[in-house]
Chains A and B, each alone.
Chain A
Amino acid sequence: SAVISQKPSRDICQRGTSLTIQCQVDSQVTMMFWYRQQPGQSLTLIATANQGSEATYESGFVIDKFPISRPNLTFSTLTVSNMSPEDSSIYLCSVAELGRSFFGQGTRLTVV
């Protein structure tokens, strides 16, 4: 099973600033996924990141707000830009392997 290291695990940020979340996988994977999970809520897919191409964003999420990098097959970053309190949430990266998804530990973001 894939092992995913995600950092930071948590952060408190000022509104208007940006935070970059990093995700490292212990094996090469084609697609990496970024989710948002608000407290007590379900997981909402933000975007799918493929190596060598632009990320594919889900409805309601845009590249200017959530730019994603995917420089190689084991690493990806998600930036939350120009943050507001509404961006306070848990952000999770994920990979899929043999019909199952594996998740990083998550980044708990609080915007003040």
Chain B
Amino acid sequence: GQQVMQIPQYQHVQEGEDFTTYCNSSTTLSNIQWYKQRPGGHPVFLIQLVKSGEVKKQKRLTFQFGEAKKNSSLHITATQTTDVGTYFCAGDSGYSTLTFGKGTMLLVSP
């Protein structure tokens, strides 16, 4: 079945440093979605990428979808303590069900 790999598993940065998490699918995706889960919370939708090579920005967050629609990345510029949480990518192969990556836990020290 479809697998979605995500690295790194964990990253600890100083406030102001950049952060990137990478996602790779074993199959071509219809779209990829990104979610953020704060400690003790539930996943919250961040963005959906649909087009090959698509790049979307949300303030300090930049999302990319690979040309082959099999990989994606999330980059945070100048992290803040409010960015703390686990970031999940989730691949949709077109059958309306999502396969989640294992997530990257981000810890930001002030």
- What residues of chain A have their CB less than 8 Å away from a CB belonging to chain B? 31, 33, 40-45, 48, 59, 92, 96, 99-106
- What residues of chain B have their CB less than 8 Å away from a CB belonging to chain A? 1, 31, 33, 35, 41-45, 48, 50, 88, 90, 96-103, 105
* In contact, A106 and B42 (Cβ under 8 angstroms): yes
- Chain A interface secondary structure, helix, strand, loop or mixed? strand
Bound form: Cα–Cα A33–B48 in Å: 18
Chain A residue nearest to B92 (CB atoms) is A99
Chain B residue nearest to A98 (CB atoms) is B48
Residues of A within 8 A of B50 (CB): 99
* In contact, A101 and B102 (Cβ under 8 angstroms): no
* In contact, B1 and A59 (Cβ under 8 angstroms): yes
Query: Among A33, A44, A48, A96, which residue has the most Cβ atoms of chain B within 10 A?
Result: A96
* In contact, B101 and A42 (Cβ under 8 angstroms): yes
A100-B43 contact given A33-B97, A48-B97, A59-B1, CB 8 Å threshold: no
Residues of A within 8 A of B98 (CB): 33, 45, 101
> Across chains A and B, which 3 residue pairs bring their CB atoms closest together, nearest first?
A103-B42, A100-B45, A43-B100
Residues of A within 8 A of B35 (CB): 101
List 16 A-B residue pairs with CB atoms under 8 Å apart, sorted by A's residue number: A31-B96, A33-B98, A41-B103, A42-B100, A43-B43, A43-B88, A43-B100, A59-B1, A92-B42, A92-B43, A96-B96, A99-B50, A101-B43, A101-B45, A101-B98, A102-B45
